[in-house]
Each structure stands twice: as structure tokens, then as C-alpha cells.
Chains A and B, each alone.
Chain A
Amino acid sequence: MADTAANGPVLAADGSPLKRSLGRALRRQKLRALALVAPLLIFVLITFIFPIASMLFRSVQNDIVSNTLPYTVQALANWDASTGDLPPEQVFEAMYFDMFLAAEAKRHTRLGTRLNYEQTGVSSLFRQSGRKLDDLGKDIEKPMNRLNAAWKDGETWYSIFDAGTDSADTQLLQVQRNRVAALTDGPASGDVNFAPSAAMAQALPTATRAYTAWAVYTATQDGKDPATTDPWEALPVALVHDLKTADLSGLNGPAVDLLTELQAANIEMPTFAGFFADMDEDWATATPWQTIQTHSGIYTSGYFLNAVDAQKTPEGIAWQPEDKQILLTLFVRTLIMSLAITGSCILLGYPIAWLLANLPMRQANVLLILVLLPFWTSLLVRTSAWKVMLQQQGVINDVLVWIGLVDDAERLIMINNQFGTIVAMTHILLPFMILPMYSVMQTIPPSYLRAAKSLGATNWTAFWRVYFPQSVPGIGAGSILVFILAIGYYITPEIVGGTKGVFISNRIAYHISSSLNWGLAAALGSILLAAVLILYWAYDRIVGIDNVKLG
């Protein structure tokens, strides 16, 4: 007995193993701590992490292509773009019906805009073609209606394709529901009052699919009953196209006569490839097809490549010519200017922080208020004030001219360039440098300096070898703060930066609010975030993040 007690697990007073009761006690503590943190955690998750994550996700998201042109993307999968040949007829066929549905849903222009980022001209190609798609249907409708007036009637169509009491192709219906839902970014559920006939789906696949898609769209998006609604112009096209090759022998029912009659009439229609070439000669080149194929994936690296002035092409990654590499230049400029701002903040802030830490309490408090004063005025006002100060007819130039240092005709250009941005941002970010420095310097007792001097060091040596190393954590903390704030700064460069002094953030803002290319904006933002994290990591390796003190 005693032996097992000695070797077995240590027991708590209630007889349960000590480890387990300790674990339970600790867990309870952790839960309580978590409950205290929970409100903030939830707030941060909802308002910060979640939006940022979803924004960053946009930088790779690309399902718009496959959602809008699902069958085209499928048909294009086997096409070898590198030959430069046109894709086969099925691709044009799929494209016609995909485009038609998209055009009815007014989604084709959105896709055009997306693909236009990769290939200029696609946007207008899509927009113009969307208007001309009806023409083919109209050309075919006329002889059909002449042949038999019943084709004018929506109920005729319904009776042909609806399964009625026969077996229905429920899978096709579901696929089309999903397709419409993906296309319209909304649900496509609810009663459709239509089920595609399995026999028709077998005999007339394109037409049945087109009709089912139309029925789903009409019922779920337009709220109309497909049984009594006249179908789109794409349906005659699909039917006539199918009848060219269809075998109607297995069918029965009242519709068979109509279909046989129509098949016998053998209405003339151009190939889809020919029709597309007619609409716009660009369709007769491989380029738009290559673009669609290259960017048909659900996820894309395209935005990131665009963000570094490159492009995804069928041949691989292509770099922009040097003179067009705006974004890389902007990244480099943002980095260099942020470093310059951090550097000038250190130079200007260090003596102030030193004074703050060494003046008697009362004077230090006054000085501290002066340091914090800028926080009391709006950022916009401060930035605009710099505009007044620095512009060519501004205060500084006036004074320089008045003193005679500068000729009136050669007033200095200090605004709307990098100089202006650096000056204004240094001013705005200075407190973020001074405060951490001050709080670190405050903890350095003056006796160290005295000790150094008593040991024979001159004022400079005492400062440099004894005081400065101890203030480095403050410099580090301030630098990280200022650098990270600077690298993402937007308003000040926007106002005083002109064209030469803007930052990458201004580009991001442009893509978010003007060009609406959110994917590119997200990619730029992600790269910025990654750059900051890498720098932070490098800083940690070199200086050590433990050496950073904020207070």
C-alpha cells in the first residue's frame, strides 16, 4: 500500500490526482481571465481582424470569372492558348449562352472590368457585345415564328421542356440554381414551377440547359412564372442549334411534331465563332480568350503581380517596362521616405526627450504639454498649416525673400514634393518618437552620468558611452512606432505630397475609392503589411524586441 502511494501520482486532499486538480484550478482562472478580455476581444475581432482578413482575402479572390462564365471556363480548359489559334466552336457556343445569361443579369460588365485590369479593352468588348447578343436570336426567331406561330407563345416552350408527369432531371435544375446564385451573388431558391424533362435534356442538351437557366432566373430573380412568360432570344438559338444534330426519334408527346417540323425547316444560322467575329473583330483573335483562360482560376496571383508591376500572361509572368513601374517605385519611395521621417524624428526628438527627462518637474510639464499640443489640433489643420508655411508664396519663402537669401524669382519649392511630405510628417509624428524616448530616459538616473564623469569621462564620452546606450530602447520603441505609422500614412502625403511625395497608401486609397480595383488595393495592402512584419522581424533579430520599452 505504502509503496503504491509513494510511486503513484500525488493526490490532492479530495483524493483526485494533484495534477488534475491543479489543471482544473488553472483552467478556471484562465476562463475568468478570458471572460474579462472577451468584450474587447470580440470587439477587436469584429471591427478589426475580421474586416482586415476579408479585405486581404480579396487580393487573391477571383471567382467572378468562373461564376460568370462557368461553361466557357470549362470549355476553355483544354484549349492550348500558346498556339495562338482561336479556341474551338464549343467555346464560342458556351460563351454565347454564358454571356447571354450574364447580360440579362447585368453582370457581364463587372467581369469586363475585372478582366480589363489584366488586358485593356476587354471591358468595352464585353459591354458592346452584351448589347448585340440579342441580334442572333432575333434573326432566328423570325423564320421560326413564320413557320409556326406557336413558337411565339411561352407556353409552347414550357410544354416542350417541362417534365410534367415524366421523369425530371433534378440534377440539371440544381446545377442551374447554383449557377444563377453564383452569378447574382444571391440565393436562387424557392419554387420555380418547372422541372426539366430528362428526355429533352438527353435529346436537346443545350436548349434544355438554357431553358432551365432561364426558368430559374425568371422565377427566382424576376418573380415571374416561366409557364406563362415568353423566353429570351437565346432559346431559339439554342433550339435551332441543337436540332441541327438532334435525334428526335426517342421522343413522344405533343411537342414532337413541332420539333420535327422545326428540324425539317433547317433554319439557317451562322456558327457561334462567326457570330462573335461579326459582333467585334477582337473576338476573332486569341487575346480575349487567353485573358479569360489565364484568369479563370478561383484564386489568382494576378493582383499581387499587378501590385509589383508585373502581369500574369499565358507565357508566365511579364514585367512592365521600366518606365511604367509605378508601384514598385512607390513602394521603394514609401520605404525610403518613412526611414527619412523616422531618422529626422530621432534627430529632432532626442534632445527634446532629454530635456523633458532632465528639466525640473514644472518646466518639464510645460514642455510636455507643448509636445502634446499638436494632438489637440486636427491633423488636417496641421497639414494645411504646413501648406501655408511652405508654399511658394508662403511664410517661409516670404521671409527668405525679405531677408534677401532667396531671389523673388527663384522662390524655393518646398511643397507638393518629397521635402514637403517629410517636413509635415516629421512634425506630425514627432510626439510618437518623443514620448517613448522620454519615458525611457526618465528611468536613467543622473548618477550614471556623474559616475562616468568622476571616472574621467568627458561630457561627450559620458553621454555616448553611458547615457546613449541606455536610451536606445526608447529610440527603438519610438522608431518602430513612427516608422509603422509613417509607412501607412495617407492624409498628409495626399495634401502636401503632390505627385512626387505620395505614398503607397495614396495608391491604395485611389484603388479603393476611385478605380474600385479592390483586389489590387488589397494586394498592395498585404504587401505593405508583409513589409512591416519583415522589418519588425529583422528589427527583432538585430536589436531584440525585448530591448524596446514604451514606458
Chain B
Amino acid sequence: MADSATKQAFVEFERVQKSYDGETLVVKDLNLSLPQGEFLTMLGPSGSGKTTCLMMLAGFETATHGDIRLDGVSINNIPPHKRGIGMVFQNYALFPHMTVAENLSFPLEVRKMGKSEREEKIMRALGMVQMQDFAGRRPTQLSGGQQQRIALARALVFEPELVLMDEPLGALDKQLRETLQFEITRLAHDLGITTVYVTHDQTEALTMSDRVAVFDDGRIQQLAPPDKLYEEPQNSFVAQFIGENNTLDGVVKEINNGVALVQLDGGDIIDAKPINVSKPGERTRVSIRPERVEMNKDRLNPDAHTLKAEVLEFVYMGDIFRTRLRVAGVDDFIIKTRNAPDQARLKPGEQIEIGWMAEDCRALDA
């Protein structure tokens, strides 16, 4: 939905670098801009610099180089408490010596708000997270999910335009996480808040966000809406990081009409869509999603290349079947098939032939 080019950027990172020790760059050349109201998720492996980015935005770390702008104003020299950014911490950071209501009242008090106005806002914020009945409790008397809701309410109660959340659901169980994921997105969209959300969990990233920034090694590897990220990964890191993925290594033989012929290391020839390759002779890693692999020759182009495969394992998963194959010398090639009445259930040892549409198989960097 968000088309960043047409909207004015609300948060902007421009060539931002960060080093803690003066020797290694934790964040390398970060460029990011997000428009008002967008829900952006930073996704990436541990240590990739997500929290660091968030801390720079919140003002608890200073960028070693580069410029961070909020609503067009550079905030490098604005102290954290003047940035007006709501923040939800991983461990909630609810003040243990205050009740829930006092916790929520805190940001309003430091803004010198009157008592009646404060109470009204507190009740409204608690209402948003359905926690009105808990105003008098201490944080230690709440469950993890309840604490999380209060932390969210506290970050929203003073009506910030930008809210940062650092793995806010990391400590919760799956069911609760899903409920809260839904609530957070609903609130963010209803209130029109710009949100930067950090997570490890790719499902969370894909289901919640308008756009996802995949981090690795201090860089954004790809910044795209979830569907594009999944279906059109820009490089092999993203392809492997998001969702399940099969990879095969080889060399580009020729490229014509947007289809590349790739000779795998085992000698087989396959079709692929050139993404990061431009000329024959380059090494490449092709990537194909398990559900896009076809066993039925009738559904493929007549001139499509196919590969021989041996079934190693068949797992019944209810809605789908997950079959592990040996293909071109690789033992962990996965295919997923829908549990349809006509779908064959393969047995280990069976020899089959597989293929795919050229545009589903992406030839990426090696």
C-alpha cells in the first residue's frame, strides 16, 4: 500500500553509520525513509544491528556518521525526552514501584497535563488494550501478556506520532503473540501511527508490516512489502532468511528473453529468472520455493527442463505433504504439495521427475 516515493518521508536515515568500539561498524551505510503512518518491520538475525538502529532513532545512541531526520528535522542533537517517540521495550520496562495507572500517568505528568485530562487519557489508553480493570495493579501482579499490553498503552498514551517496538512479543507464547500481533497492527492503523517494529520472527514480520527491512551485517538487504519480499527476494540471503527455500548452485550458460539457462554443478541444465546475474559464465545460486516445484509434467511448459529426483522422506502434515528429495546431488531439496484427492503420496525410494516455471526460479548472487 505504501508508496514511499509519493508520500513525504516522516522518518529518514541517511547514510547512517554506527560503531561502538571505533573498530567495527555495527551499522554500515543505512538509508531508510518511511512515510507517515507506515508500519515498518526490521527483521534480521541476531547482532545485525536492529536494536542499534532503534536506539539511534530513540536517541539513546548517537550515530557515528550520517543524519537521522524526523519530519524533516535532523534529530542528532535532540535529547531523547524531547523527541516525543513512544517506545516499547523488549522486557516491557514497566516501573515496578508504580501502579498501572501511575505508569500511564507518568508521560502525561512530565508533560504537565491536568489531572482530569490525564485520567481521561489513561482510561482511553487502557481501553484500547482492554485493560481498564487493572489500573490499580502493580506490574508484578500482571501476566506477561497483560504487562505487554500496558507497555503498549504507556507508549501510546501521550499520543506520539512515532512508536518504536523492540521485539515486544519475544517473551510470549505463540497464541498470545498472535492475538497481540493483531491488536498492535489494528491500533497502529486505527491511530495512524508510524511504527518501527523489530523482530526475529519472520511470520510476525510478514503478517504485520506494510514493509519489511531485512537486516544483515549492518545493512538493509532488502526493503519491500511482505509479498514482494517472499516472492521476489533480491539476494540469496533474503531468499534463505524468509520462508523455506531450496537452493542449487551452478553457472549461467546463457540468458535470452529473460530466461537464463543454468548448468548446475552436477551437470544438469535448469531454467531460471536472472536477478543478480547478467552474463553467461557467472556463478549463481538459484532459489525456488518448495510450493512452486511441479511434479506433474503436464502443467509445465513443453520445453521446460526437468530434473530427476529420488524421494528420501515423506511427511504428512495435514493440509500439505512435505517431501524431501535428492536432486542434483543435494539431499535437502523440499517440495510441498497440497493434500488434494488426486495428489499422489510418494514413498521413499521412488524416482520422480520435477520441474518449474522459469519465473519461479530466481538466479541470485552466488
Q: Which of B59, B60, B79, B155 has the most CB of A within 10 A?
A: B60
| Minimal beta-carbon separation of B109 from chain A (angstroms) | 8
> B86: which A residues are within 8 A, CB to CB?
454-455
Q: Nearest CB to that of B87 among chain A residues? A: A454
B85 surroundings in chain A (CB, below 8 A): 454
Against B, the Cβ 8 Å flags (1 = close, 0 = not) of A436-473 are: 00000000010110111111111101100110011000
Asked if B96 and A454 make an inter-chain contact with CB atoms under 8 angstroms apart, the answer reads no
CA distance A454 to B58 in the complex (A): 7
B176 close to A (CB within 8 Å): no
Q: Which B residues, 82 to 132, have Cβ-Cβ distances below 8 Å to chain A?
A: 82-87, 89, 91, 93-97, 106-107, 110-111
Option from B80, B91, B97, B111 in Cβ contact (under 8 Å) with A454:
B80
Contact assessment for B81 and A458 in the assembled complex, using a CB-CB cutoff below 8 Å: yes
Known: A470-B96, A470-B97. A456 touches B87 (CB 8 A): no
Instruction: Tell me if B289 counts as interface (CB < 8 A to partner A).
Output: no
Which B residues are CB-close (under 8 A) to A454? 58, 80-81, 83, 85-87, 155
Q: Is the CB of B91 within 8 A of A453?
A: no
Docked-complex contact A455 and B158, CB < 8 angstroms: yes
**Chain A minimum-CB-distance residue to B90:** A447
| Minimum Cβ distance to chain B for residue A444 (Å) | 9
Q: How many residues of B contact A (CB 8 A)?
A: 26
How many Å from the CB of B4 to the closest CB on chain A? 25
A470 CA / B60 CA spacing, docked (Å): 21
A445:B106 contact, CB within 8 angstroms: no
The answer to whether A452 touches B89 (Cβ under 8 A) is: no
Chain B residues closer than 8 Å to A462, beta-carbon distance: 81
Q: Among the listed A457, A458, A470, which residue makes an inter-chain contact with B106, where contact means beta carbons less than 8 Å apart? A: A457
Question: A451 contacts B87, CB within 8 Å?
Answer: yes
Tell me if B60 and A457 are in contact (CB < 8 A): no
Bound-state CA distance A24–B93 (Å) is: 47
B154, A455: Cβ atoms closer than 8 Å: yes
B residues within 8 A CB of A459? 81
Chain B contacts for A470, CB-based, 8 A: 95-97
Chain B residue numbers with a CB within 8 Å of A466 are 95, 106
In B48-69, the 8 Å CB interface with A consists of: 58-60
- Chain A residues whose C-beta falls within 8 Å of the C-beta of B80 in the assembled complex: 450, 453-454
A451–B97 touching, CB < 8 Å: no
Q: Are A456 and B84 in contact (CB under 8 A)?
A: yes
Complex Cα spacing A462 to B107, Å: 11
CA A31 – CA B94 in complex, angstroms?
44
Cβ–Cβ < 8 Å partners of B95 in chain A: 448, 451-452, 466, 470
Instruction: Chain A residues near B83: list those with CB within 8 A.
Output: 454
Shortest B150–chain A CB gap in Å is 12
**Nearest-CB residue, chain A, relative to B163:** A454
Q: Does the CB pair A455–B110 fall under 8 Å? A: yes
| B110→A451 contact, CB < 8 A | no
Q: Are B110 and A461 in contact (CB under 8 A)?
A: yes
Q: Which residues of B contact A469 (CB under 8 A)?
A: 97
Residue of A450, A456, A458 touching B89 (CB-CB under 8 A)? A450
CB-CB under 8 A from A450, the residues of chain B are: 58, 60, 80, 87, 89, 93
18 contacts between A and B (CB under 8 A): A447-B89, A447-B93, A448-B93, A450-B87, A450-B93, A451-B87, A451-B93, A451-B94, A453-B60, A453-B79, A454-B81, A454-B86, A454-B87, A455-B106, A456-B84, A457-B81, A465-B106, A469-B97
- Using a CB–CB distance below 8 Å, which chain B residues touch chain A? 58-60, 79-87, 89, 91, 93-97, 106-107, 110-111, 154-155, 158
A-B pairs with the 6 shortest C-beta distances?
A455-B107, A451-B93, A454-B87, A447-B93, A453-B80, A469-B97
